[in-house]
Amino acid sequence: MKRPSKIRLGVNIDHVATLRQVRGGTTSYPDLMHFALEAVRGGAEQITIHLREDRRHIQLADLQLLAKKRPVALNLEMAASEEMLRFAKKYRPDWVCLVPEKRQELTTEGGLDVVKGAKRMSPMIEKLQRIGIEISMFIEPSREQVLASYEVGADAVEFHTGHWVLLKGDKKKREWKRLCEAAKLAHHLGLGVHAGHGLDPEHTRKIRALPELREVNIGHFLVCDALNEGLRKSVRRLKDVLEGK
């Protein structure tokens, strides 16, 4: 199979909001829109946010603002709940990515069980697609979950790459094989093939070998790397203030 001419980059800015919310939302910084624009200036073709039930990072006001002033396509990650369905219908992101969500987890721990939740998710997907929103399903790279995603009418699947990133040796090779097989099946069924979670430059370079890949969504690494690349300049600026410059 011929490689697509371009793999779309979605930048997840959740952890910019995490830094803001760590003080209970009492600060206006870091400014989420500023960092969304910075991501776009760097080459992002999509901004991704996850409005969680516990509002630990992204807030409803963030969704409202980004939906109104989106600089590029907006991808809303959300649980398959009636509350989130209402928000998606009201603010109309370009994409909705349905994800699993547990209140006690530090970050998304695995893929959505579409097989188990198909009956509940299918009408939600239909309602969102009816108003022009495209749907992806955040799933493990398994044949069963790909088939279930196709059957509920999704436009794409986003494979959870977090396990593959962390695994070593033969286990990593086996997980890569699962990714390859699941991507082939998804493409054969006409589903877009996306990937995300835990990706850094090393694994982003490796996952480009998937010829079916159309999109990656990356957040944590990029926010951490931005701190690494920019802290010296910020400290110098405040030091100059202290020195009366």
- CATH (one of 3.20.20.70, 3.10.580.10, 3.40.50.720, 3.30.70.260) for 8-242: 3.20.20.70
Q: Is 203 a catalytic residue?
A: no
Q: How many residues does the chain have?
A: 245
Q: In the chain, where are the structural domains located?
A: 8-242
Identify the pLDDT of residue 4: 46
> What pLDDT does residue 109 have?
67
- Give the residues across from 46 on adjacent strands: 10, 73
Q: Indicate which residue of 15, 163, 187, 197 is catalytic.
A: 197
Tell me the two tokens of residue 149.
Answer: 């995603």
Question: 57, 77, 101, 163: which one is catalytic?
Answer: 77
**Catalytic residue status for 220:** no
Whether the bond between 30 and the residue before it is cis, its omega within 30 degrees of 0, is yes
C-alpha distance from residue 184 to each of 81, 99, 114, 148, 194 (Å)? 30, 22, 19, 15, 12
SS (H, E, C) 71-116: CCEEEEEECCCHHHHHHHHHHCCCEEEECCCCCCCCCCCCCCCHHH
Quote the CA–CA distance of 158 and 202 in Å, as a whole number. 19
Q: Which of 15, 50, 57, 160 is catalytic?
A: 50
SS3 content of the chain, % helix, strand, coil (to 5): 50, 15, 35
Averaged pLDDT, groups of 10, the chain, 245 residues long: 71 95 91 95 95 95 98 97 97 98 64 95 98 98 98 98 97 98 98 96 94 96 89 75 78
Is 197 designated active site?
yes
